[in-house]
Amino acid sequence: MLKKLSADNIYIVCSHTDMRKSIDGLAAIVQQQYQLDLFNNSAFLFCGRRRDRLKVLLWDDDGFLLLYKRLEGGKFNWPRSKQEVRNTMVWE
């Protein structure tokens, strides 16, 4: 059963990610490349090379949830570096 989804932290994985990866592959990226805790109520955002697909990995109390969005038209404005994230995000 799905509950109301929320995340204390949202992490954007810069550059492109192989969209063939499933939960285990994306979790490995988070743990090995970024040394982040997958279970601390955080959402991890990944985008494909064509920038028309987005995946979100989120721990949901008893298992992982993988959300997938494919745009029918247009592309995500996806950052390639930490500096691009700083330049494009709105901070409140």
Predicted TM-score of the model (pTM):
0.86
pLDDT at 62: 87
Note down pLDDT in tens along the chain; length 92 residues: 567 888 999 999 988 999 999 999 999 999 999 999 999 999 999 999 999 999 999 998 889 999 999 999 999 888 888 787 766 655 55
pLDDT at 37: 94
User: DSSP letters of the chain?
Assistant: -------SEEEE--S---TT--HHHHHHHHHHHH---TTSSEEEEEE-TTSSEEEEEEE-SSSEEEEEEE-SSS-----SSHHHHHHH----
pLDDT at 90: 56
Q: Which tokens go with 76?
A: 């995500």
Domain residue extents for the chain: 9-88
